[in-house]
């Protein structure tokens, strides 16, 4: 169950308009690689060392793949890719790599993850 709280916000397009309440997610905690590894061990025949090693290697490899210009398909979880923008220039000669900015990581969820998210239910968090 996803919890939310209501936050009062102004309309950025019309600061004079009355503020409205909007739902904002409330996180219940964090799951780190160690906790994830323990959960995976409980569902498999692998040892905790095997799972830790695999997850650590995955974390090491993903940035390498992305920086080599690849998208990284993580199966039903989704796909990671790099995106960026740049300043506009008049001609190709006027462009240099320093014009590139706003480097970001884009995650596109897989079909199965999208379907599971559609089943989400919500509950107001206690204040």
- Is the CB of residue 82 less than 8 Å from the CB of residue 106? yes
- pLDDT, one tens digit per residue, over 38-93 is 999 999 999 999 999 999 999 999 999 999 999 999 999 999 999 999 999 999 99
Closest CA to 112 of 78, 73, 71: 78
Give the span between the Cα atoms of 112 and 75, in whole angstroms: 9
User: Per-residue pLDDT for 96 more than 80?
Assistant: yes
pLDDT at 11: 87
Task: Note the pTM of the prediction, 2 decimals.
Answer: 0.78
pLDDT per residue as tens digits for the range 99-112: 999 999 999 999 99
Among the residues of the chain, which ranges form H helices?
A: 33-42, 48-67, 111-118
Strand-strand pairing, 100-109 and 122-124: unpaired
Whether the per-residue pLDDT at 127 is higher than 90: the answer is no
């Amino acid at each position: 169950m996803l919890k939310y709280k209501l936050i009062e916000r102004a309309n950025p397009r019309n600061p004079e308009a009355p503020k409205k309440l909007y739902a904002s997610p409330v996180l219940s905690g964090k799951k780190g690689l160690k906790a994830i590894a323990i959960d995976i061990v409980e569902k498999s025949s692998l040892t905790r060392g095997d799972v830790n090693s695999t997850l650590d290697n995955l974390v090491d490899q993903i940035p390498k793949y992305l920086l080599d210009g690849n998208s990284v398909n993580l199966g039903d979880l989704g796909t990671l890719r790099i995106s960026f923008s740049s300043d506009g220039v008049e001609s190709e000669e006027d462009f240099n790599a320093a014009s590139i900015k706003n480097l970001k990581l884009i995650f596109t969820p897989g079909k199965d993850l999208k379907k599971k998210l559609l089943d989400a239910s919500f509950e107001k968090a206690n204040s």
